[in-house]
Structures are given as structure tokens and as C-alpha cells.
A and B are shown apart, each in its own frame.
Chain A
Amino acid sequence: MKMDEKKEMKNDKDRLICRCEEITLGEIEQAIDEGCTTLNEVKRRTRAGMGLCQSRTCSKQIARIIAQKTGKPLSEIMPVTSRPPARPVKIDVFRTGESNEESN
């Protein structure tokens, strides 16, 4: 079991945190080591949170990683700058003002 634990620790760095842009835990930790202390900074350095889902999936995890590595309380880690739309829509919606699809 000792060996397995070691292996797991090593692979931990390769674990995907941002699934859309395929950014690993190792890359995010490196960005923090290089001086990033906010979600926006990590985002601009690594592209984590710039993919299709617009950080819906990974921002909370990255906030926790920053909190753990910098020692800042989680409540002080500001969320990434949110810009509309809150849900993914086609650009056509802005052009025509309507959508044929259900807005999920």
C-alpha cells in the first residue's frame, strides 16, 4: 500500500483541474508558486477557466488550491470576473433577440 500511495501522490500533479482547457493541478500550483494569488491571475497565466464552461466547473477547486497554498482564508479568495451571459447562448441570440432552443 505504501508504494501505491507514493504513486498516487506523483500522479496527483497530472490530475485535471480545468477540464475544458485541460490544465493540471501541477500547472496551477506552478502558477501560484510563480506569484499568482488570485483566481484571475491563475486564469490569465494558465488559461484555467477560459474554456467552454467558463470556469463553472473548476473555479471553486482552484480557489481552494490557492487558499491551501497561500494560507489565505477561502472567504478572501475573490471569484473570477463574471461577465454575461450567465448561461451559454448562441451569438445569434444577441443578433435576433430570440432563440429556437430551450435556454438551458
Chain B
Amino acid sequence: MKRVIEHPVLGRLEDAKEVKISVDGKEMTAREGEMIAAALFANGKNVFRYTNKRHEPRGVYCGIGRCTDCVMIVNGVPNVRTCVTPVEAGMVIETQQGIGHWGEEGSGDRGGEDGTH
């Protein structure tokens, strides 16, 4: 686990509930409410997607939700900015290839027939 426990400015890392998430089919432990990108870093994963044209690996660039370099497929929804999306228990996260694709759980969003997320 790579985490800053004692931060010189922010102080000591507060206790948080630990939850399990699935990343590319592998189970990882995350702190509930932390950003997905932070959880992935802590678990040693820093390639979040591969680009559409050159198929180059990408991870976090701006880290504040502007640049969209860190997007992944989260619960079946492609292009989710992981640096500003909090972790929830049981989240299914996948490395995105190119512009991504809609998965099972995200199909409702695309069709919009059931009106739920």
C-alpha cells in the first residue's frame, strides 16, 4: 500500500472504512470516499487507459477533473474521470481502451429506457 500516512501539511491520514473494488477483474482494497485514482495508485496501478490513436498508456495528468487523461470504465460507464469520482463499495473498474465502450451496467444510461443510473 502506497499512501502518505503523515502529511507535512494535511496531517495524519484519518481512519476510513475499507471497501473492496474490482479492477480489471482483480480485487483491490480502497478507502471509501477516496478518489478512484488515489485507490489505484495506492494499489500500485498507474496505467488507467490506452489512447485511441497511438495506443499509449495514460494515467493521472491534471488530477483535478479538467484534462480527462485519467478516464476509465466505471460500473460499465466509459470516460469516467477517476480523479474526481469517489470510491464506492463493489465498484467495477476497467482499464479503458481508446474511447471505451458501454458495459452491461452502463447500458441503462445509454438507452435511458428505465430512467435509472
The B interface, classified by DSSP as helix, strand, loop or mixed, is loop
A-side interface residues, number (CB < 8 Å): 18
0/1 per residue, B31-57, Cβ < 8 Å to A?
000000000000000000001111010
Among A21, A88, A95, the one with the most B-chain Cβ atoms within 10 Å of its Cβ is: A88
CA of A51 to CA of B51 in the docked complex: distance in angstroms? 12
4 additional contacts, CB 8 Å, given A57-B62, A88-B68? A22-B56, A56-B66, A57-B67, A90-B109
Report 16 cross-chain contacts, Cβ distance below 8 Å, ordered by A residue.
Answer: A19-B61, A19-B67, A19-B69, A20-B68, A21-B53, A22-B51, A22-B53, A52-B71, A52-B79, A53-B67, A53-B68, A56-B66, A57-B62, A95-B112, A96-B115, A101-B85
Please give the residue numbers on chain A whose beta carbons come within 8 Å of chain B beta carbons, in ascending order.
19-22, 51-53, 56-57, 88, 90, 92, 95-96, 100-102, 104
Please give the residue numbers on chain B whose beta carbons come within 8 Å of chain A beta carbons, in ascending order.
51-54, 56, 61-62, 65-69, 71, 79, 81, 84-86, 109, 112, 115, 117
